[in-house]
Chain A
Amino acid sequence: MSSDQGPNSKDQRTPLPDSLKRQLEAFRGRLWFIKVAEALLAGLFGLLFSYLIVFGLDRIWNTPPTVRLAVLLGGTSLFTLFAPYWIHRWVFRHRREAQLARLIARKFPRLGDRMLGVVELQDQTESKEALSPELRAAAMKAVAQQAEGRNLKAALPSPRHLRWGLMVALTAAIIGAALWKVPKPSQNAFERWLKPFSDVQRYTFTKISDFEETMIVPMDEPFSVTLTLSELSDQTPTSGVARFGIQEPVSAQLQDDKKSYTFDFPGQSEPGRVLINIGDARPVIQVLPQTRPAIKSVRATIVYPDYLQLQDKTKELRVGTLSGDVVVGSKISLEATTLEGRELKAGTLTIEELPKTTERDLFDDDFDLPGDNQKPSETAEDSNSGAPLEANALPEGEPEAEPAPPRILPLRVTGSQMNSPSISLQSQPLQLQMNWEDVNGLEDAGGHRIRVEPLDDQRPLAYIQDIERQTVLLEEETVSFEIIAEDDYGTKHIGYEWTGEFTKPTDETPSRGSHILELGAPNQRRLSGAVHFSPKTRNIPAQKLQVRAFVEDYFPGRGRIYSEPITLHILTKDEQAQLLKDQFDRIIGELEDAARREQNNFDENRRIEQDGAEKLQEEANKERLEQQEMNEAENIEKMSELSERMEELLGEALKNGEVAPETMQKMAETMQKMQELSQQDMPKVEQQLQEAQDPSSTPEQSEKDLQEAIEEQEKVLEKMRETIDGANEANQDFEASTFVNRLRRAASEEDGIANTLIASIDDKGKTTIAGTPYDELDPVDQRVLGELSMQQRRTASDVHWIHEDLGHFYARTEKEEHKQIMIEMRESNIDSHLEAVREKIVANRTFMAVASAKKWAAQLKAWADILDPPQDPAGAGGGGGGEGQEPSLDDNDFEFMLKVMKMIQTEQDIRARTRALEQLRRTLHLQDLPE
């Protein structure tokens, strides 16, 4: 037996009984199933649960990608880590019977150990002699039988696959319900869970339209944040809450019309975040406070109208007004630069027309007069006396127009600069408002306003200075004056015009002309020039001239603007002599008044003296003396003024040249005495009167002073009388010489009348008016006859007075030549004859009037020749010293001085007229105007 068993004992393994084997295989299968199920279900649960976490978190907040990634990794880790580990533990490490037996032994230790024992027995390889296969089989059988009675399922480690399955089912149900109920957020959450770093936005039920996540707001100014609900929003919360940093939250109600929420925040100076809750939407906005963009500088470029010919001008606008530099018709453009170089996005310019403000003169007669529709410009024209009407018809007054609605123009923006388009300026004031927005969307703080007040191109102004408005001069004299003109932009040229007017009818044509003095320039606002005006140089005979300066600027069609006129009375020598005679008369009259006052003072001084030395220092007498001293001072002043006037008169008489040397000498003596009186004699009286009042003097001393004053005053009175006598004597000579002039002037008047009448006869000897009844005459001829009649009446009146004056003069002087003329005049019955001439003129008896006027002109000249015989050229040289009387040295001196003075005067006239001619020559190119 042993031999049979020997060779078989090595290979012979005793297998486990089939029942046991089946039982173990069933146990293992069950174990594997449960644990694999557990692993799979746990992994699945992890995935589903992580999705649910993201879904849930997204409902609360915008889950960050990192959190979502963590959740996803956590969810998948059950699948990727736990499941393999579980399977390895329960499947790979429980595949053998021994491993299973050990597992069973945890629940059934005895059975498990027996099973482990029989499993080990089946692999027993000892010798046959040492082992009993039968025993081994019996043991296996016994264990199998024992195991058959047991439920090995109970030995399985606590199975959790059902629990996992339930959890998976539950989460799947939740997900399913979510997918069914809220598919969009579920799908959104799935995408965000599956791709945590994708840019899939969190789904919210409250959907906000796109907004800027960074917002720049004006610093320290309240600002608003407005969010709008999207059309796709599933919810429309009635309100929302927002919070800036840690500040108090602010809420906003849904504005139904716009579907928006506006949160108002107070001003902020520091950057911060605004967290907003609207429904489940949690937008966050970064807020950056920034100062509003401001302007650093504004410059205006002014383009003047073409007619002004001015260069463009750039002006810094430091104040918000542009006026004074802009004229109607100009164009301006603005250039603005922002502060700190802030970049700009856009800008606008609003142009608004303002009502025209008209400055009115409170003293203007037209002020506030209802219904007075006279335009200001017309008033100005009227005040400009004498200016030609066509030159004044300026289109300057415009009817008031309704201001146009504001215009808005875009500004050209380049970096931090913005430029406006060119703006044409009319007479209406404008308000220009610049508004801008920087690249951050911040707008300006109120914009920048500029008031533009275009001014009309003002009329230039011309005036004459350095000359009296009424000036008397001889034909040979030259007057100088200055013309000054000013304009607001530029003067083209200045000059002067003159218009003559004869003071009596004559056949001559009044002088008229103009002269351009200086050329200006477009930018020459002030222009001036000296005028040397010589009537003789311009062949202007004696007459009254109105001289006006004129100026032209560059304004089209404006023409000349005139100054106030001055009047030049150009006199003949006899006319000037008459004028001097009148002045001399007045001086003598005033000198006589002064003498009377001095006499009164003298009488009063004597009365005071008569009171005696004792009473001299009484208060009343002191006052009388004081008054006397004051009276004397006044008289000194008057005498001083008279001597100055006398000096001027003497100078004028010298210019005249026709005043006799003897008369000039007497006038000079008169002036000399007047000067002595005012400078030496009378002040002595005043001094003595002052000393008589000296309180420190004794009564006797005072009386002595007063007596000395009276003595001096007596001398003064005597000298005054001498002066008056001398002046009267000079005046008589003057008068006598002017008898000549007056007679010659009357003759000249008669000649003038005759010549004017002759001028009315044409070349063929036919008169246009002779014989025609006055009523049938042309109105012009009627006027001429009327004027001639008036002139004849004046001449007749003059002659009448000459006749009468001659009588008085002869009574005083008893000069034979005056008597002779007086008698001849009386016998000629000239008064009635001159009146007859006048009647002939009125009756239009032209030839008779001419003949008579000529006859009486000749007669008047003849009488003048009696007083001033015409010099015989042949005997002129030998006439001197005919009486054989050697003139005194003083006489020679005076004659010499007079000649020298006349020479100087004449040379000065020549020099002044040379200047006037030179001026004419230098301004030749300007003489394009007919004179």
Chain B
Amino acid sequence: MKLRLPLLTTGTLLFLTGSAVSQDTPDPKPSVELPKITYPDPVTEAQKEAVEKHREGAQNLAGEQDELAADVQDLIEEQTDEKLIALLEEVEEVMAEVIDSLDETNTGGPTIAAETEIIEKIFEAAKQRSQQSGGT
């Protein structure tokens, strides 16, 4: 099926993507020293179960992040624009970082920040692609 998509429709999708990103992007905060989080040690059985649940959940997420990284790898292979490729490679790198963190059951602020960076960079890639299309 041959698809004829007006450029405006692509822009609309970009807008949709952008609004989705902006909804979840935290406001930039001034650089301050972040409080150190002290995690409680498990004592009771219920708490130990919760720790186990946390570990399983984090590792599952690491798996999902890994799958997504593979999708990014596929996407890179389809691209020809170097700038876009560079952006997507950065995404891949941050994703690898997140995978490592989640594998180590680190679900704290740094990991969430890295995930936010992934979203921002993908969005940036989308904009890059949009500009590229508009320019040709």
Please name the residue on chain A nearest to B4 by beta carbon.
Answer: A890
A925 contacts B115, C-beta separation under 8 Å: no
Is there an interface contact between B16 and A911, defined as CB atoms closer than 8 Å? Answer: no
Contact of A913 with B by CB under 8 A? yes
B1-38 residues at the A interface, CB under 8 angstroms: 1-10, 12-14, 16-17, 20-21, 24, 37
Query: Complex Cα distance A825/B51, Å?
Result: 50
Cα–Cα distance between A184 and B115 once the two chains are bound (Å): 118
Q: How far is the CB of A677 from chain B (nearest CB, A)?
A: 13
Chain A 868-907 interface 0/1 with B at a Cβ cutoff of 8 Å (1 = within): 0000000000000000010111110110111111011111
Whether A672 pairs with B42 at a CB distance below 8 angstroms is: no
> Given the complex of chains A and B, what is the CA–CA distance between A803 and B15 in angstroms?
40
Contact call B108/A920, Cβ cutoff below 8 A = no
Name the distance in Å between B55's Cβ and chain A's nearest Cβ: 9
Binds B, one of A404-412, A491-499, A560-568, A663-671: A663-671
For B129, what are the chain A residues with a Cβ–Cβ distance below 8 Å?
893, 896-897, 900
Q: CB-nearest residue of chain A relative to B24?
A: A908
* Contacting residues, chain A, for B42 (C-beta < 8 A): 924
User: Cβ of A914 and Cβ of B102 under 8 Å apart?
Assistant: yes
Give the secondary structure class of B's interface: helix
User: Which of A173-181, A330-338, A646-654 contacts its partner?
Assistant: A646-654
B66 nearest CB across to chain A (Å): 11
- B83, CB-defined interface residue at 8 Å: no
B112 and A914 within 8 A (CB):
yes
Known interface pairs A899-B75, A910-B61, A914-B61; A665-B3 also in contact (CB < 8 Å)? yes
With a cutoff of 8 Å between Cβ atoms, the chain A residues found around residue B6 in the complex are 669, 672, 890
Q: Is the CB of A925 within 8 A of B61?
A: no
Which residue of chain A has the shortest Cβ distance to B39 in the bound complex?
A921
Q: Is A804 an interface residue, CB under 8 A from the partner? A: no
CA distance A771 to B80 in the complex (A): 68
Given contacts A669-B9, A891-B5, A911-B24, contact A904 B122 (CB under 8 A): yes
A918 touches B57 (CB 8 A): no
Q: A906 near B64 (CB under 8 angstroms)? A: yes
Q: Kindly state the separation between the CA atoms of A929 and B44 in the bound complex, as whole angstroms.
A: 10
Q: If the complex has contacts A911-B112, A911-B116, are A921 and B3 also in contact, measured as CB distance less than 8 A?
A: no
Instruction: Find A901's partner among B4, B17, B24, B71 (CB 8 Å cutoff).
Output: B17
Contact of B72 among A903, A915, A930 (CB under 8 A): A903
A479 CB → nearest B CB, Å: 13
Q: Which residues of B contact A888 (CB under 8 A)?
A: 2-4
**Complex alpha-carbon distance, A928 and B40, angstroms:** 13
The minimal Cβ–Cβ distance linking B105 to chain A, given in whole angstroms, is 8
Are A894 and B9 touching (Cβ within 8 A)?
Answer: yes
Let me know if A905 and B20 touch, CB within 8 A. yes
B65:A900 contact, CB within 8 angstroms: no
B4 touches A538 (CB 8 A): no
- In the complex the two chains form, is B46's CB within 8 Å of A889's CB? no
**For residue B2, which residue of chain A has the nearest CB?**
A888
B9 engages A920 (CB within 8 Å) = no
Contact present for B3 and A894 (CB under 8 Å) = yes
Q: Are A917 and B57 in contact (CB under 8 A)?
A: yes
Complex: A668 Cα to B13 Cα, angstroms: 8
Nearest Cβ on chain B to A819's Cβ, whole angstroms: 20
Q: B108–A918 contact, CB under 8 A?
A: yes
Is A931 part of the binding interface, using a Cβ–Cβ cutoff of 8 Å?
yes
Structural contact, A900 and B17, CB atoms closer than 8 A: yes
Q: A668-B13, A911-B24, A924-B40 are in contact. Are A900 and B125 (CB under 8 A)?
A: yes
**Which of A899, A910, A915, A928 has most B Cβ within 10 Å?**
A910
The answer, among B8, B71, B75, B133, for a CB contact under 8 Å with A889, is B133
Q: Is B54 in contact with A920, judged by CB distance below 8 angstroms?
A: yes
Q: How far is the CB of B69 from chain A (nearest CB, A)?
A: 10
A662: CB under 8 A from chain B? yes
The verdict on A195 contacting chain B, using a C-beta distance below 8 Å, is: no
A925-B40 contact, Cβ under 8 Å, with A888-B3, A894-B9, A914-B102? yes
CA distance A669 to B68 in the complex (A): 27
Question: In the complex, which residue of chain A has the Cβ closest to the Cβ of B51?
Answer: A924
B39 touches A924 (CB 8 A): yes
Question: When chains A and B are docked, how far (Å) is the Cα of A651 from the Cα of B18?
Answer: 12
Other-chain contact of A911, B40, B108, B119 (Cβ < 8 Å): B119
**Bound complex: CA A536 to CA B50 (Å):** 14
Cα distance A178–B2 in the bound complex, in angstroms: 153
Question: By the criterion CB–CB under 8 Å, are A672 and B53 in contact?
Answer: no
Most B C-beta atoms less than 10 A away, residue of A538, A539, A904, A929: A904
Q: Does A922 contact B (CB under 8 A)?
A: yes
CB distance from A336 to the nearest CB of B (A): 49
B3 A927 Cβ-Cβ under 8 A: no
B132 to chain A, nearest CB (A): 9
Q: Please give, as numbers and ranges, the residues of chain A lying within 8 Å of B61 by CB-CB distance.
A: 910, 913-914, 917
Residue among B9, B44, B68 making CB contact with A906, cutoff 8 Å = B68
Q: Which residue of B41, B115, B130 contacts A914 across the interface (Cβ within 8 Å)?
A: B115
CB-nearest residue of chain B relative to A912?
B24
**Chain B residues within 8 Å of A891, by CB:** 2-3, 5
Please, which residues of chain B bring their CB within 8 A of the CB of A924? 39-42, 47, 50-51, 54
- A910 interface neighbour in B9, B14, B64, Cβ under 8 Å: B64
Q: Decide if A239 is an interface residue (CB 8 Å cutoff).
A: no
Provide the residues of chain B in CB contact with A898, threshold 8 Å: 13
Mask: chain A, 637-653; 1 = CB below 8 Å from B; 0 = not: 00000000001001100
Say whether A907 contacts B10, CB under 8 Å: no
Nearest-CB distance from A420 to chain B (Å)? Answer: 47
Bitwise interface map of B from 111 to 123 toward A, beta carbon under 8 Å scored 1, else 0: 1100110110011
Judge whether A572 is part of the interface by a CB distance below 8 angstroms.
no
Bound complex: CA A903 to CA B61 (Å)? 14
B67 — nearest CB in chain A belongs to which residue? A906
User: 5 smallest A-B Cβ distances: which pairs?
Assistant: A925-B40, A890-B5, A911-B115, A891-B3, A918-B107
Q: Could you jot down 23 A-B contacts, CB within 8 Å?
A: A538-B53, A539-B53, A647-B16, A651-B16, A662-B3, A668-B13, A890-B5, A891-B3, A897-B14, A900-B75, A900-B125, A903-B72, A904-B17, A910-B64, A917-B57, A918-B112, A921-B51, A922-B40, A924-B40, A924-B51, A927-B44, A927-B46, A927-B50
Question: What 7 additional pairs, Cβ within 8 angstroms, besides A897-B126, A904-B122?
Answer: A669-B5, A887-B2, A914-B61, A914-B102, A918-B108, A921-B54, A924-B50
